[in-house]
Structure formats: C-alpha cells, structure tokens
Structure 1
Amino acid sequence: KLHLSLQCCGEKNYISWVNTDYFKKEGIPKSCCNMTAGVNCTSAELKDLNTAASVVYQRGCFSLMTTTLEANLGIIAGISFGIAFFQLIGIFLAFCLSRYITNNQYEMV
C-alpha cells in the first residue's frame, strides 16, 4: 500500500530489492508497478531488472517518507502535544482524587 500511495519502490529505488530473498523468488513486488504509465506488469518483467526499469516506480520510498513527515511535522507535533496535554491532565486529576480520598479517610475517625 505504501508503494501505491507514495508511488515509490524500495528504500533508495527499485534496485534495493535485488539482495532480498523476496526478489530471488518473486522479483520486484507487484505493488511497485507504475499503474499510471498504463503498462501491464508481468512476473517475468518484475524478475528482470532491465525490463523492470520501464514498468516500476523509480523513486525510493525512504526519501519520500522523510519528505512527507517533514512536510507534516507541525501537524504531527500538534497532535502529539495535544495527546500529552490530556495525559497530564488525567495524571493531575488522579493525584487530586487520591489526595481527596486520603484526606477524607482521616477525618472520619
């Protein structure tokens, strides 16, 4: 799904798959096929690097992922701080409840 949504293949590029066990059995993953180019990927093409170059995405996923994360860093940080804020409020309220229960136990005697 990552390959399809970011239109990428492999870590640096499609050649990153060459030294994997998956490539030895299946070739380059079918999810790397460049469907926007209007080509039909066959398993024979995905096993041959020379023909695969014309049917798979050329860009690597690592650089695209880091670029996407950097572009959305403000949103990610905002959500993270928002979650942390509610966690801290929960801890504070639990502490207040604990103090309230402890103080009331000693007054009952």
Structure 2
Amino acid sequence: MEVVIGLVAYHTKDKLMEWLEKNLVAGMENFQKTGFGGVTETWNVIQHELGCCGVRNYRDWENTSLLQRASVPDSCCLSDVVGCGSGILKLYQDQASLRIHTTGCITPLYQIFEENIVYFYTIASILLFIQIFAIIFAIFFGNTVKKGLEHV
C-alpha cells in the first residue's frame, strides 16, 4: 500500500503543484476576512518566514480585498514595520522590491515539500518492510500451529 502511495505521490508532483497553487489563491481571497483568522495568520507566517509575497508574486494581492488600499500584507515587507505594505501595488516592481519581497511563495513551499519527500518515502519503506515481516511471521506462525494440531 505504501509503495502505491509513494508511486502516486511521485507521479503526481505536477498535480500537487496545481492543487497547492489553487488552495493558496483561495486562501488569499479570505485574507483578513471575519472568521478566517487562521488563514490570515498562516499567510503572515508563510510570507514572513519564507521571504515571499503572494502565490506567484506580490501582484497576486491585486485580486483580493486588499486591492481597495492597493496594498499587500505587512508580512511581505523586508523589515517589520507596521503599514509598510500600504500602497505597494501602485509602485513599479523595482520600487516595490525596495520595500517588500516580490517573489511568490509557491516555489519555496514546493521546495520544502520536495526536500522533505525523502522522509515520506523512508517512512513508507519502513512500514512496507514491517508489513512484509508481519506477513512472513504470520505464515510461519500459522504453519507452526498447523503442524502442532496435526500431532494432536
């Protein structure tokens, strides 16, 4: 079973990238909306920690409620200054890059996935080995019990 999961995961990398991008975009649409505090906090952490902004680039924020202020979240900023993301979408990219991270978060997130996929494959392999060992043990145990019953 784990081998199948591993093979499926390996062969569906592109689908994973599409799924990840789709869900990140959906999350952006709920940024700073009532009842979506977790989405807002997650975006802030991702952008701040990975040094990125938006999904593909900072202009992705144009399609959100932040567009009314022509802003990006402060978590996109190069330095932790409240309000530093205000008006960024009115600037040219070279001007914006002096204040915020302009590259998107999809690439660093996908790189994290790829860097850690080896752990997934390792765990899947260990589980597969345990299952094979358990099957062999069950067959051996079953044969031993069968031989014991034949002598009774």
Report the TM range for the smaller structure's normalisation. Answer: 0.5 to 0.7
Query: Could you tell me how far apart the structure 1 residues matched to 2:68 and 2:137 are?
Result: 60
Deviations 1:54-73 (A, max 9, x none): 5321122224445x45xx95
How many residue pairs get aligned? The number is: 100
Q: Tell me, what secondary structure is at the counterpart of 1:46?
A: coil
Structure 1 residue runs of 4+, over 3 Å off? 24-27, 63-66, 75-81
What TM-score do the two structures reach when normalised by structure 1? Answer: 0.64
Query: Could you tell me how far apart the structure 1 residues matched to 2:54 and 2:130 are?
Result: 42
* Equivalent residues of 2:74, 2:81 under 8 A apart: no
Match of 2:127 in 1: 87
1:14 aligns with 2:67: no
Q: Which runs of 5+ in 2 are unaligned?
A: 1-44
* Equivalent residues of 2:76, 2:101 under 8 A apart: yes
Q: Which runs of 5+ in 1 are unaligned?
A: none
* Equivalent residues of 1:40, 1:55 under 8 A apart: no
Counting only pairs closer than 5 Å after superposition, residues 21-32 of structure 1 correspond to structure 2 as: 21=65, 23=66, 27-32=71-76
Larger Rg: 1
Match of 1:42 in 2: 83
What TM-score do the two structures reach when normalised by structure 2? Answer: 0.50
1:99 aligns with 2:143: no
The alignment's C-alpha RMSD in Å is: 3.3
